[in-house]
Amino acid sequence: MERKNIVNTRYITFEGPGSQLLLDSGQKLTAVTIAYETYGNLNKKRDNTVLIFHALSGDAHAAGFNSESDKKPGWWDIMIGPAKPFDTDKYFVICSNVIGGCKGSTGPSSINPETKKPYGLSFPEITINDMLKPQKKLLEHLGIEKLFCIAGGSMGGMQALQWIVAYPETAKGAIIIAAAAGHTAQQIAFNSIGRYAIISDPAWNNGNYYDKSCMGKRPDIGLSIARMIGHITYISEELMHKKFGRDFINKNRIKKSFIDFTKEFEVESYLYYQGESFIKRFDPNSYLYITKALDNFNLSQGYKNLVEAMSRVKSRCLVLSFKSDWLYPGQQSMQIVKALKINGVDTTYVDLDLPYGHDSFLIEDKKLISLVKGFTGGLED
Amino acid sequence: MRRFEIINNWIDKNSKVLVLGCGNGDFLVELNSARMTKSQGIDINSEKVYEAISRGLSVIQGDINTDLADYPENSFDYIIAHDVIQIMEKPDAVVKQIIKLGRNVIISFPNFAYLPIRLTIFFSGRMPKTKVLPYEWYDSPNIHLFTIKDFKDFCKKENIIISRQHYTGFGKRNIPGCASPNLFSEFAYFMISGIKK
């Protein structure tokens, strides 16, 4: 059997004077912990770092395996590794969990150092820009000033967008996949239903479900419904129909004595499974905080318009959208491209013809891989 | 093969260049190496743009008919429209636009008044098919074919300055400007610019 490439998730806590994280809301977070993983080695010139940003439900574990018994590698293993687009023989790749999350970085399920209890809803509101602040600190801690490239899809793409505006001198290249400079009403609406599902679950209890007195009752039903809705939006209608069509779970359709309102069709069972597996790895409050950060993201905020916001950008940009992505359609990427073009930024854009929908950036595909490889190769000249 | 030699020779080294309808980027590769440019391209075909980006080139998928308006004036030293103007929906609007965006604009096109074309129409009474114009009448992308004289008339009308011209005839032989190029050249190259302010 092939030996697995084992990586360990590491943690850093910013403590001591001046280490407080000042959030966009004006509130402060103390003793912020960041979970992160690195792949490859930092070179002597310290200029070969690739910073990867994860999407809504992602985490710091972007590549390799955390243990021999892991069945699946990290979420972007197709991109990170030897001879892959983010070639770990050449680049030093970093990925960290966002704050507000629940995979090792400080979030609503973390213990508030002041009260010694989980934050719950006392966790302050965070923004996409806030997510970047501890990542910048992490880089400083690792002695990295310049980045070879930054990359992310969906919420990761929004972080990349915010990064090239907030820290314009740092990244040589930026890869922005299936993202938007701000959510449309439809995108907010889908997230809103997800949030409603969670907060209307009685077990949510105003975000206080971490306590022992709750006997382990969490708003799992709410969270799984939120995930089911989200999942529908992440894949294309074409792919979904191809996978499941109108197939029934019970192929013989044996007459039952009752009507099955939940799992009669294959697609129903699939969605149910998606919801079930998600609740094992995600915190409902984190889902609320992160989707809120996504909905509030507006790159033009504080500027006259998007063009003015983008006037700070110095990075060479690769913007990608997918023809089958109806959640973050190509027009939103084209708005970004337009603003970059007006500012004379060296920009590359294609609306890639992949069939998988919004999640196309997570699926192994020759085209996606050679595109990103081509762009990083071009950055080296 | 130096397919784009004529245009390449007109470009100063280290210039900022935009190539319209750049396809999979063959021209960009040649231009970048010959003239040390970091040329950018635009093409509507996602498959071709994908190929170009995979080669590390700076290319945007976009529609020349509509998406050029995004660039600020004088963004480029050269804008190259090689064999594409005749496929535009509104060639006049595109030309008027690009002379604002580029200090110099290079336009090349098949000359529809080329002698063999005239003879084909005259003797066979059918739409001509040549190496340069190989399409059937119904599937041709060339929706706005024109001649060298047409183009010169247009430049005059729009106060566009023609700074260079080059003509090639059968077998890509060079045709001197004095030898009735409108009759003997199959392909024409012009370098033009807007009125000096």
User: Could you read off the pLDDT of A87-145 as tens digits, one per residue?
Assistant: 999 999 999 999 999 999 999 999 999 999 999 999 999 999 999 999 999 999 999 99
User: Could you read off the pLDDT of A32-50 as tens digits, one per residue?
Assistant: 999 999 999 999 999 999 9
Task: Considering only the beta carbons, identify the residue of B46, B56, B75 that sits closest to A375.
Answer: B56
Q: Which residues of chain A lie closer than 8 angstroms to B67, CB-CB?
A: 338
Q: Do A350 and B54 touch (CB under 8 A)?
A: no
3-class secondary structure per residue, A3-43: CCCECCCEEEEECCCCCCEECCCCCEECCEEEEEEEECCCC
User: Could you read off the pLDDT of A59-84 as tens digits, one per residue?
Assistant: 999 999 999 999 999 999 999 999 99
The answer to whether residue A154 is catalytic is yes
Q: Domain locations in chain A?
A: 10-183+296-380, 188-291
The CATH class, in words, for A10-183+296-380 is alpha beta
Burial class for B11, CB neighbours closer than 10 Å (0-12, 13-18, 19+): buried
Q: Does B32 touch chain A (CB under 8 A)?
A: no
Of A74, A131, A127, A50, give the one whose Cα is nearest residue A98.
A131
Mean pLDDT of B13-39: 93
pLDDT value of residue A130:
98
Q: Which domains does chain B have, with CATH numbers?
A: 5-112+144-193 (3.40.50.150)
Give me the CATH topology for the region A188-291. Rna Polymerase Sigma Factor; Chain: A (1.10.1740)
Q: Which of A154, A224, A236, A360 is catalytic?
A: A154
User: Could you read off the pLDDT of A133-153 as tens digits, one per residue?
Assistant: 999 999 999 999 999 999 999
Q: Do A344 and B75 touch (CB under 8 A)?
A: yes
Q: Do A338 and B40 touch (CB under 8 A)?
A: no
The answer to whether residue A333 is catalytic is no
- State ipTM: 0.89
Residue A142 backbone dihedrals phi, psi, to 5 degrees: -85, 0
Confidence of residue B83 (pLDDT cuts 50, 70, 90): very high
- Measured in angstroms, the CA of A174 and the nearest CA of chain B are apart by 13
pLDDT value of residue A253:
67
Q: Does B59 touch chain A (CB under 8 A)?
A: yes
Q: Give me the residues of chain A with pLDDT under 70, please.
A: 1-2, 253-254
User: Could you read off the pLDDT of B88-139 as tens digits, one per residue?
Assistant: 999 999 999 999 999 999 999 999 999 999 999 999 999 998 888 899 999 9
Average pLDDT, rounded, for chain B: 92
Q: Which of A54, A61, A183, A358 is catalytic?
A: A358
pLDDT value of residue A153:
98
The answer to whether residue A220 is catalytic is no
Which residues are CB-neighbours of A94 under 8 A, at least 6 positions away?
Answer: A36, A37, A38, A49, A50, A51, A52, A138, A139, A142
